[in-house]
Amino acid sequence: MEDASYDHVPTDFPLPAYWGAIPGAQPKLIMTKYNGRFYSPGCTPPEIFKRWSACEEIAKQLAKKSIESKIGKRAHMSELEILGQYLPRLIATKLTSEEEACWIIRRVAAILGWPVPSSAR
């Protein structure tokens, strides 16, 4: 994949937090080398692009589902309530981290022009 593709990842997309330890007396830093640069594990451009692509796809699917819900069985609910009830369900799937799940809900709100639930801020 071309490095230019990685520029599509928005700056507000969450980066994974990585906590690790290596035994020994000297301080150590766990890093991954990619194209001559060092990154925290899971944070190389290809890894972030892959995570973002998956989250963007989930956001698009959830946006479609949210519209269907608003027209159908959740017509009585506000847009905030609809998005708010999807967040804990998304977190429960363990497909994403909690930070990514919140980003997905914010992205769905942006796609639809709906307000962002406070639980996803």
Output 74-82 pairs: Cβ under 8 A, ≥24 positions apart: 79/112, 79/114, 79/115, 80/114, 80/115, 80/117, 82/114
Give the global pTM.
0.90
Residue 114 CB neighbours (<10 A): 19
- DSSP letter, residue 68: H
Beta bridge partners of 39: 32
Q: Residue 73: phi, psi to the nearest 5?
A: -70, -15
Which residue matches tokens 């994949």? 1
Tell me the backbone φ, ψ of residue 12, rounded to 5 degrees.
-90, 0
Q: 52-78, pLDDT tens digit by residue?
A: 999 999 999 999 999 999 999 999 999
Whole-number Å distance between alpha carbons of 109 and 115:
6
Q: Give the separation between CA 12 and CA 9, rounded to whole angstroms.
A: 8
Q: What is the pLDDT of residues 80-120, one digit of tens each?
A: 999 999 999 999 999 999 999 999 999 999 999 999 999 99
